[in-house]
Structure 1
């Protein structure tokens, strides 16, 4: 008896277009990205490619599990797939809309706070387009919806891969034994340190104390915004002094306005330069900060601090958009190639 083969129809392709793949093929396809993931992490944990290889590995392993399940296992997998699709198509967008409304009420109507709301409405809009296309099996609506699903699938794959790898990155690596700790600013309320920045400072103080045997220096980094009464660095220094951090251990960098400047200007203050440097930011910002450090060729380990749960969806979406725009041409080309391949299969 031959093993069951995986088959998949393409949106807008009609019932005649099917792709059949032997289950073992998916298992074999998972080996290459898995190997590249291990090599990539061992060489540099801060590479975006590591997230992609991890995502591809998990995707092929999932396809292998789906296509090779038998008997009761196949029933369990089938129910799991249906539940997962319902969560992604219905529960997730509703949760994002609710979170977006809460963000607007709690944090204001800035674009960054609207991202979860926009993402939720975007997924619901895609659901509606797909439902309309179901009544137009081979027409232009179905073909167009299929192309939208391909693009959404690409973006969703990247988001899921980056989110998972960012969590892994933030929970691994060195946590003590540093010669210097840099705490990145995140904005003040007048001259007061808000909870988001306080969590960074508390984590920075914790790492500073854990590294006491190396007599570390603690750098606070952040300039003064237009609506701030003092520089972020000055307020951060006062906060740390109240936490009994020795004043002679604190260095003040009060000119930075971006993550890149936070890292570059803070490291310039360290004389002599040090080999073991930690940069502290909030957990949602860890991986992008690590990417910036890598692009600047700075020897920095990035460590995250806790963030209020309601803030995380919009924050992670904002980080994802920032990462995507760093290489938007490459992503646009990838989407174009995927859509072109889809159209060739459907219309060819």
Structure 2
């Protein structure tokens, strides 16, 4: 079908991007567009063959979307309350609660617009839904492709296994989250060693203002306590952000082996953004993830998604502006007129 051509084109571009570099954000978007175009093509085909069935499918999809939004809002608010109870009220821990509240507000705005049936409110609600739809599309792309990326096997050699730091308890103790990364790195190191490669374990993390030792030193001590030979471990102890983790670690690896390859270990929620950052900073390697506590995962994923949006803030700002201007233009045209909507 001709309607499937956009889907096939996006799928081909996705496959080409995957072969070229699986760490590209465009891969996630192309995969999402391929699915969206395929669904649209299917609906158009069904509508052309059986109009009533096509309308019924649209109603079913809209109903499922509505139920999904309500369910998601409830889940995010419940998770946000759990996060506050277990982790405190820092801005990062309030993300899932904020997202759930925003969904409730969006639903409230949409229902109010449909009930009051005023032109301005209808346009405002439609614009808000369009912006939310754009964000939801990107988030689903991020979620699905990030999960796919984390499951792709790493087949190339690795000269280094880099472990990213994440803060210490009491200034000296490796917390469970970081211990999970180190255990995952230790297993990956053992797997590579069985192939006769014996890579270097590189712990990466500087010393924060509330820490008594650099994170990388505490991480190295943890690995030694777990039976890893100290001569297999190196430390990068200047970094304070993910970008610095990768930049400083990359420089260290480059000095020791200009032709290096590496595996970077972080938590599963952090994998895709780390991979994107690694690509941007010129790191030759891929990223794997360690498990994360279930209650912590939603807020962490939202935080990573927001950080990725900020990384591409110019592109997103342009799209947001276009949506807002479109809404303003529609309002100026006087469409839709309240009487035209069947309520």
TM-score, L = length of structure 1 = 0.87
Contact kept in structure 2, 1:285 and 1:304, CA below 8 Å: yes
**Structure 1 residue corresponding to 2:19, chosen from 11, 33, 42:** 42
Contact kept in structure 2, 1:176 and 1:211, CA below 8 Å: no
1:106 shift after superposition = 0.5
Is residue 2:208 matched to residue 1:231? no
**Separation in 2, partners of 1:68, 1:156:** 25
Change (3 A) 1:79 1:136: closer
**Separation in 1, partners of 2:11, 2:327:** 26
Is residue 2:86 matched to residue 1:86? no
Change (3 A) 1:339 1:214: same
Is residue 2:228 matched to residue 1:245? yes
The superposition leaves residues 212-245 of structure 1 with CA deviations (integer Å, 9 ceiling, x where unpaired) of: 1112110011111122232211111111111111
1:83 shift after superposition = 5.1
Counterpart of 1:292 in structure 2 is 277
* Unaligned 5+ runs, structure 2: 334-343
1:137 shift after superposition = 3.6
1:179 shift after superposition = 1.4
**Separation in 2, partners of 1:267, 1:335:** 35
Secondary structure in structure 1 of the residue aligned to 2:28: helix
Counterpart of 1:20 in structure 2 is none
1:60 shift after superposition = 1.2
**Structure 1 residue corresponding to 2:288, chosen from 303, 318, 324:** 303
Change (3 A) 1:63 1:342: farther
Change (3 A) 1:253 1:305: same
**Separation in 1, partners of 2:115, 2:2:** 34
1:182 shift after superposition = 0.4
**Separation in 2, partners of 1:150, 1:25:** 27
TM-score, L = length of structure 2 = 0.88
Q: Which region of structure 1 is more displaced relative to structure 2, 66-75 or 29-38? A: 66-75
The superposition leaves residues 289-323 of structure 1 with CA deviations (integer Å, 9 ceiling, x where unpaired) of: 11111111121211111111111110111011111
Secondary structure in structure 2 of the residue aligned to 1:186: coil
Counterpart of 2:265 in structure 1 is 280
Counterpart of 1:205 in structure 2 is 186
1:347 shift after superposition = 5.2
Counterpart of 1:192 in structure 2 is 173
Counterpart of 2:130 in structure 1 is 150
Counterpart of 1:173 in structure 2 is 153
Is residue 2:147 matched to residue 1:164? no
Q: Which region of structure 1 is more displaced relative to structure 2, 95-104 or 293-302? A: 293-302
**Structure 2 residue corresponding to 1:216, chosen from 199, 220, 228:** 199
**Separation in 2, partners of 1:75, 1:146:** 21
Q: Which region of structure 1 is more displaced relative to structure 2, 135-144 or 284-293? A: 135-144
Q: Which region of structure 1 is more displaced relative to structure 2, 161-170 or 32-41? A: 32-41
1:82 shift after superposition = 4.8
Counterpart of 1:9 in structure 2 is none
Secondary structure in structure 1 of the residue aligned to 2:235: strand
1:168 shift after superposition = 0.8
* Unaligned 5+ runs, structure 1: 1-23
**Separation in 1, partners of 2:69, 2:224:** 49
**Structure 1 residue corresponding to 2:323, chosen from 325, 329, 338:** 338
**Separation in 2, partners of 1:257, 1:72:** 59
Structure 1 or 2: more helix by fraction: 2
Contact kept in structure 2, 1:179 and 1:274, CA below 8 Å: no
Counterpart of 1:32 in structure 2 is 9
1:143 shift after superposition = 0.9
The superposition leaves residues 181-226 of structure 1 with CA deviations (integer Å, 9 ceiling, x where unpaired) of: 0000011101111111011001100111111111211001111112
**Structure 2 residue corresponding to 1:123, chosen from 78, 81, 103:** 103
**Separation in 1, partners of 2:252, 2:74:** 47
1:332 shift after superposition = 1.5
The superposition leaves residues 163-184 of structure 1 with CA deviations (integer Å, 9 ceiling, x where unpaired) of: 1111111111306742110000
Contact kept in structure 2, 1:182 and 1:277, CA below 8 Å: yes
Counterpart of 1:268 in structure 2 is 251
1:266 shift after superposition = 1.9
- The alignment yields a C-alpha RMSD, in angstroms, of 2.2
